[in-house]
Amino acid sequence: MPHRPLARALATLVAVCTAALGAVLVPGTAQAAVINYVALGDSYSSGVGAGPYDWSTCLRSQKSYAPLWAAAHGVASFSFPACGGAVTADVLNSQVNSLSASTTLVTITIGGNDAGFVNVITSCRFGSTTACTDAVNTAKAFATSTLPGRLDATYAAIRNRAPNARLIVLGYPRLFETTSCGWLAMSTYKRTILNEAADVLAAVTAARAGAAGATFADTRPYFAGHGVCAGTPWINDVSGVIEAYHPKADGYRYGYLPALTAVTG
């Protein structure tokens, strides 16, 4: 009888020590549940094409993949500086200011506007076959020569501002199906070389992301069969000056979101 208080005390001490040892043996278990997420990038991250948009000039939509992922994962904090029309310089000059040492997850789509996305699409949609070919070749040359350095600088700046974060770089989808699409559509040739340009951009982006220790999430397989000219397209055709050739809400939900979830869980 007189030893029972001592036994209880020893039992309590053992339990405390066991719990502490468990925390040491499984480091970061508690911290892993805390997600401070920052979504950087251009219109393919801000959600152009999905609508409705916030009141900023960046055309941010809550139907983009980033807010959808944040809502599904109960993040501790979510910052959404992604902005339609952004180039790598915009990320460096303003968007990285949203990052800090407490940031644990960063996603980004960037590089398409640097490579002249708008000019290429405009030249191919409204110009001649020669104009389209020239624009695509110029963009591909830029993507393989100048863009890698810009991506390296961008990823390095993100690492510098958010040293404890996982960086996930999402690519762009192929925009088109190459099946018959009606007489008002772009020719099969134009659609084919635009898809080939998307493949070049994906290869460059994946390589630079890998060199930076980031994870590349390839969206092309998820959009396969749902490009412009598909029976059920997830990408807008010429529906408006701003939203043309950007994902619809379904494209973000069923294309981009699964691509991100596949690498994050």
Cβ atoms of 159 and 100 closer than 8 Å: no
Residue 129 to residues 133, 188, 196, 236, Cα–Cα distance (Å): 6, 11, 15, 22
Catalytic residue among 43, 45, 64, 123: 43
**226 an active-site residue?**
no
**246 an active-site residue?**
yes
Cβ atoms of 82 and 45 closer than 8 Å: yes
Cβ atoms of 93 and 86 closer than 8 Å: no
d(CA 99, CA 253): 25
Q: Sign of torsion, CA 45 54 265 152? A: positive
d(CA 48, CA 239): 12
Catalytic residue among 45, 46, 123, 246: 246
d(CA 194, CA 135): 10
Q: What are the E-state strand segments in the chain?
A: 36-39, 77-79, 105-108, 166-170, 215-217
Which residues are tagged catalytic?
43, 246
